């Protein structure tokens, strides 16, 4: 199956039986891998050979939904561990470079570009709004909406990049740590069943 179709099918399954997987299926670089894993487990749990058949069986049987949800929590934990290991490896590289006396401007430049990009996108949005207010007939409403939407996408993109840079530098929030502890406890309980 083509990756977008696999991801779409996995999202449909996740909506009813594996909400913990939605974050991995929503545009991240792990979406295709997460989708493959979720669909394989859904087909295994339901005893079906296609994502559509698995979805139909899940919609008809709440017990299968529960079984898949338990398995999805395990997949989520595996993906989270891989993600954290990847971040830890990147931090380790930065530490080793610093120990060797090598100054890397890469991350500083990345943050500067993200900040400039966000600033420029916000200035463009405000300027477009002021232009529309000053000359209401000068810009077609459809063109105005399309441009505003594009500038908004750019602002969101650069804002998310800044958020990721801060999370990398300062680690995840206390809430994430608490969530990880809850997940470990749940997986321990499930393993004891």
Is pTM, for the whole model, over 0.75? no
Phi then psi for 171, rounded to 5 degrees? Answer: 80, 180
CA dihedral 48, 53, 59, 61 (to 10 degrees): -30
**How many beta carbons lie within 10 A of that of residue 108, not counting itself?**
11
Return the domain boundaries, the chain. Answer: 3-77, 106-170
pLDDT score for 47: 93
For residue 1, give every residue at least 6 positions away whose Cβ sits within 8 Å of its Cβ, in sequence order, or none. 9, 51
pLDDT score for 117: 92
**How many beta carbons lie within 10 A of that of residue 171, not counting itself?**
12
Measured in residues, the chain has a length of 193
pLDDT per residue of the chain (193 residues) written in tens, 0 to 9: 546 677 888 888 888 888 888 888 876 667 888 888 899 999 999 999 999 999 899 999 889 989 898 888 888 888 888 777 766 666 666 667 667 777 667 777 888 899 999 999 999 999 999 999 999 888 898 999 999 999 998 899 898 888 887 777 666 555 455 555 655 665 565 555 5
**Pair of tokens at residue 25:** 């299926």
């Amino acid at each position: 199956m083509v990756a977008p179709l696999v991801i779409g099918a996995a999202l449909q399954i996740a909506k009813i039986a594996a909400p913990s997987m939605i974050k991995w299926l929503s545009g991240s670089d792990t979406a295709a891998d997460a989708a493959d894993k979720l669909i394989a487990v859904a087909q295994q749990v339901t005893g079906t050979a296609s994502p559509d058949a698995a979805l139909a069986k899940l919609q008809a049987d709440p017990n299968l939904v529960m079984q898949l949800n338990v398995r999805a929590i395990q997949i989520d934990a595996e993906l989270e561990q891989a993600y954290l290991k990847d971040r830890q490896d990147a931090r380790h590289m930065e530490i080793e470079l610093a120990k060797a006396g090598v100054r890397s401007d890469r991350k500083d430049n990345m943050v500067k570009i993200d900040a400039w990009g966000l600033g420029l996108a916000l200035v463009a949005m405000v300027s477009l709004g002021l232009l529309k207010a000053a000359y209401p007939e000068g810009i077609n409403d459809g063109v105005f909406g399309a441009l505003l939407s594009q500038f908004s996408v750019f602002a969101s993109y650069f804002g998310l990049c800044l958020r990721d840079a801060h999370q990398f530098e300062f680690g995840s929030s206390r809430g994430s740590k608490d969530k990880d502890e809850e997940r470990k406890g749940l997986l321990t309980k499930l393993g004891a069943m």
